């Protein structure tokens, strides 16, 4: 442990890894009278990820979606810009460095921002050897470690993705995409360009029909219709094409079916081609190679800018922690398993917590939970139950099983599917097989800002209340375990429309039996939601200005 790190005060030290959606609410609400709090993260700002698709086409400017971590949390919390690369759970020491070898996603690379673009023209094509960055590796002691390091893009090791596709996860990714779109149009304007090459240059492909892919496709279509059409009328009329490729048979498959259907229809009107049941097998410099479901053949699609949005996986530091606590590294988003107080499983002294995208709360399987309820209700051991009675029992038990609350809609659907003859009675066997299928889908909480922020806030409240840090028996200290309150899912789908899915929001909105919402009213809700979510007055003002500026003068199409 370095000299500068010796714990001088008497307060226990909490080290928080990350400056994202999970870490910031925690840092804002933790009691600094009670704890010494240190935040370690390679990114010295909070990033408003829901607005990244807007940044990638210039609807909103880069500085609008970030807020310096220091201004957010104030001087009482120490911030150190570094990657945590290792944890020693025995001595309670973390090791950090500035390049986070193998721990950083492409967008985090701050150094490239300092390189002047060779393509900018003029005299400035030299590389400045920066002398302001000397960052020796350091160790730091902790009493409590909160891991909130998020996730990184999952390429599924598909060839060519790392080399040729853009991600949309960090601010620099959005800036790169904005620049690449501009590049494609300027290249297409070169007089000697062939018609075929123009078409390729102006074919934009998005891989992944989850919310990231859908929102980016929507913003791009808005950009083309509202601005590029004015500056490049012929190119837009003849050559521009946007294609969204999705491996499943629906986009936004995690939302209500009505919403997927609405989005697909809406995209057709917005001139976005949606290729469903299509799997991207590889990406080459000027093409995407796909396989259609049911066919063995590979088809090449010529294109220029490819945005890869096929989901997330655990970061190397998350897998490193998994290994330290005796679990295998994973190539999916599983991350660090926690109990319902969000403490990492396998750390016996309870000193490590994990929240947000890098964590999964371990829950008993749904099938086991339901089986227990079933047996409880079937007092006469008939092996069959009245559906209504059973539903009522599940409702009553919901507070004991947070998973039931979130997925009560799924459970209801499962009942209906299992009871094929509409007898109103269920046998344990039919229920069992149906629930096993449902279980696969719903084990983890979704990887969203909503979940991360609630978890961060929860940890702050929990640690503020803990009276005995040495005792891991939180029940004895009367501390509540974490309960997620789902407020619905929102996605912008372009043309001033958004979709809003309330399923699983029980008991808050479901009381009013709210149906999925789409169209303009949902877009206003989307806007007002993100406006109120913007963390400070400064960013709120910038966002309001950006929206007004875009409406009045259009987006800035210059590349820099």
Specify the stretch interacting with ligand FAD by CB under 6 A; choose among 146-154, 419-427, 469-477, 499-507: 146-154
Query: Quick check: 84 binds ligand FAD (CB under 6 A)?
Result: yes
Which member of 14, 20, 243, 454 binds ligand FAD (CB under 6 A)? 20
Query: Quick check: 58 binds ligand FAD (CB under 6 A)?
Result: no
Query: Quick check: 356 binds ligand FAD (CB under 6 A)?
Result: yes
Specify the stretch interacting with ligand FAD by CB under 6 A; choose among 18-26, 178-186, 294-302, 493-501: 18-26
**Residue 210 touches which member of ligand NAD, ligand FAD, none, C-beta under 5-8 Å by kind:** ligand NAD
Q: How far apart are the first and last CA of the chain?
A: 43
Which segments of 121-193 does DSSP mark as H helices, in order? 161-164, 171-188
Closest listed residue to residue 145, CA positions, set 104, 92, 79, 85: 92
Q: 426 - beta bridge partners?
A: 385
**Residue 335 touches which member of ligand NAD, ligand FAD, none, C-beta under 5-8 Å by kind:** none
Query: Quick check: 361 binds ligand NAD (CB under 6 A)?
Result: no
Structure tokens at 105: 């996603």
Query: Quick check: 178 binds ligand FAD (CB under 6 A)?
Result: no
Quote the CA–CA distance of 224 and 221 in Å, as a whole number: 5
Query: Quick check: 452 binds ligand FAD (CB under 6 A)?
Result: yes
Query: Quick check: 258 binds ligand NAD (CB under 6 A)?
Result: no
> Mapping DSSP to helix (H, G, I), strand (E, B) and coil, where does residue 474 land?
coil
**Residue 207 touches which member of ligand NAD, ligand FAD, none, C-beta under 5-8 Å by kind:** ligand NAD
Specify the stretch interacting with ligand FAD by CB under 6 A; choose among 423-431, 446-454, 498-506, 539-547: 446-454
Report phi then psi at 511, rounded to 5. Answer: -55, -35
Q: 15 - beta bridge partners?
A: 38, 145
**Residue 149 touches which member of ligand FAD, ligand NAD, none, C-beta under 5-8 Å by kind:** ligand FAD
Structure tokens at 103: 């721990």
Specify the stretch interacting with ligand NAD by CB under 6 A; choose among 60-68, 73-81, 136-144, 241-249: 241-249
The CB-of-406 to ligand FAD minimum distance in angstroms stands at: 14
Site string for ligand NAD, 267-306 (x = CB under 6 A): ------------xx--------------------------
Q: 451 - beta bridge partners?
A: none
Tell me whether residue 374 or residue 484 sits nearer to ligand FAD (CB atom).
484
Quote the CA–CA distance of 466 and 279 in Å, as a whole number: 49
Query: Quick check: 64 binds ligand FAD (CB under 6 A)?
Result: no
Strand duo 66-68 + 45-47: pairing: antiparallel
The CB-of-219 to ligand NAD minimum distance in angstroms stands at: 12
Tell me whether residue 212 or residue 338 sits nearer to ligand NAD (CB atom).
212
Task: Provide the 10 A C-beta neighbour count for residue 392.
Answer: 12
CA 517 to chain centre: 22
Query: Quick check: 169 binds ligand FAD (CB under 6 A)?
Result: yes
The CB-of-399 to ligand NAD minimum distance in angstroms stands at: 26
Kindly tell me the burial class for residue 10, based on how many C-beta atoms sit within 10 Å of its own C-beta (0-12, 13-18, 19 or more): exposed
> Mapping DSSP to helix (H, G, I), strand (E, B) and coil, where does residue 473 land?
coil
Query: Quick check: 554 binds ligand NAD (CB under 6 A)?
Result: no
* Strand ranges of the sheet holding 138-141, from the earlier edge strand across to the other edge: 83-88, 93-97, 138-141
Query: Quick check: 56 binds ligand FAD (CB under 6 A)?
Result: no
What would the DSSP string read from start to end of 79-137?
EEE-EEEEEETTTTEEEEESS-TTT--GGG-GGGGGSPPGGG-TT--PPP--SS-----
Specify the stretch interacting with ligand FAD by CB under 6 A; choose among 12-20, 131-139, 288-296, 363-371: 12-20
Specify the stretch interacting with ligand NAD by CB under 6 A; choose among 15-23, 202-210, 459-467, 517-525: 202-210
Q: Which residue is nearest to ligand FAD (CB)?
A: 20
Residue 368 CB contacts under 8 Å (≥ 6 apart), including other chains:
none
Specify the stretch interacting with ligand NAD by CB under 6 A; choose among 177-185, 204-212, 393-401, 470-478: 204-212
Q: Residue 505: left (phi > 0), alpha (psi -120 to 50), or beta?
A: alpha
| Helix pair angle (211-223, 171-188), 10° resolution | 40
Residues that bind ligand FAD (CB under 6 A): 17-23, 40-43, 49-50, 52-53, 83-84, 100, 103, 108, 148-150, 168-169, 212, 315, 317, 356-358, 447-450, 452
Residues that bind ligand NAD (CB under 6 A): 158, 207-213, 215, 245-248, 253, 279-280, 309-312, 446-448, 489-491
């Amino acid at each position: 442990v370095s000299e500068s790190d010796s714990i001088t005060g008497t307060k226990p030290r909490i080290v928080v890894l990350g400056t994202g959606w999970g870490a910031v609410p925690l840092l804002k609400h933790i009691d600094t009278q009670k704890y010494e709090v240190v935040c370690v993260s390679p990114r010295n700002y909070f990033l408003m990820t829901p607005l990244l698709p807007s940044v990638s086409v210039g609807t909103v400017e880069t500085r609008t979606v970030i807020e310096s971590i220091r201004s957010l949390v104030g001087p009482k919390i120490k911030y150190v810009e570094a990657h945590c690369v290792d944890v020693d759970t025995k001595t309670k020491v973390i090791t950090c460095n500035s390049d986070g070898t193998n721990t950083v996603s492409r967008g985090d690379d701050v150094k490239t921002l300092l390189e002047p673009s060779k393509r900018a023209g003029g005299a400035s094509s030299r590389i400045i050897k920066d002398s302001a960055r000397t960052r020796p590796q350091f160790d730091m002691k902790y009493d409590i470690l909160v891991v909130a390091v998020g996730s990184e893009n999952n390429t599924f090791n598909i060839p060519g993705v790392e080399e040729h596709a853009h991600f949309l996860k960090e601010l620099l990714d959005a800036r790169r995409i904005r620049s690449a779109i501009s590049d494609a149009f300027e290249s297409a304007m070169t007089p000697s360009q062939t018609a075929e090459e123009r078409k390729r240059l102006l074919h934009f492909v998005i891989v992944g029909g989850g919310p990231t892919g859908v929102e980016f496709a929507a913003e791009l279509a808005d950009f083309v219709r509202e601005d590029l059409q004015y500056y490049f009328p012929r190119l837009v009329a003849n050559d521009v094409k946007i294609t969204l490729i999705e491996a499943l048979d629906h986009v936004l498959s995690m939302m209500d079916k009505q919403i997927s259907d609405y989005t697909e229809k809406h995209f057709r009107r917005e001139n976005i081609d949606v290729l469903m049941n299509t799997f991207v097998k590889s990406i080459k410099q000027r093409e995407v190679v796909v396989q259609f479901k049911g066919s063995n053949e590979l088809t090449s699609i010529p294109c220029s800018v490819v945005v890869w949005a096929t989901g997330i996986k655990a970061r190397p530091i998350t897998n490193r922690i998994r290994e330290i606590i005796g679990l295998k590294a994973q190539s999916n988003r599983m991350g660090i398993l926690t109990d319902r107080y969000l403490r990492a499983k396998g750390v016996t002294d309870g000193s490590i917590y994990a929240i947000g995208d890098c964590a999964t709360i371990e829950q008993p399987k749904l099938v086991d939970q339901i089986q227990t309820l079933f047996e409880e209700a079937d007092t006469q051991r008939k092996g069959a139950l009245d559906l209504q009675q059973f539903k009522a029992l599940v409702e009553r038990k919901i507070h004991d099983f947070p998973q039931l609350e979130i997925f009560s809609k799924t459970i209801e659907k499962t009942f209906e599917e299992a009871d094929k003859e509409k007898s109103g009675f269920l046998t344990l066997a039919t229920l069992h097989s149906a629930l096993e299928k449902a279980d696969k889908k719903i084990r983890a909480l979704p990887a969203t800002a909503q979940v991360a922020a609630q978890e961060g806030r929860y940890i702050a409240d929990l640690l503020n209340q803990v009276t005995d840090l040495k005792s891991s028996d939180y029940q004895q200290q009367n501390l509540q375990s974490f309960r997620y309150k789902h407020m619905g899912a929102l996605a912008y789908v372009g043309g001033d429309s958004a979709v809003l899915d309330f399923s699983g929001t029980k008991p808050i909105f479901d009381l009013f039996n709210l149906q999925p919402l789409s169209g303009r009213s949902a877009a206003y809700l989307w806007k007002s939601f993100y406006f109120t979510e913007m963390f400070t007055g400064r960013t709120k003002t910038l966002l309001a200005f950006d929206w007004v500026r875009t409406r009045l003068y259009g987006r800035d199409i210059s590349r820099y």
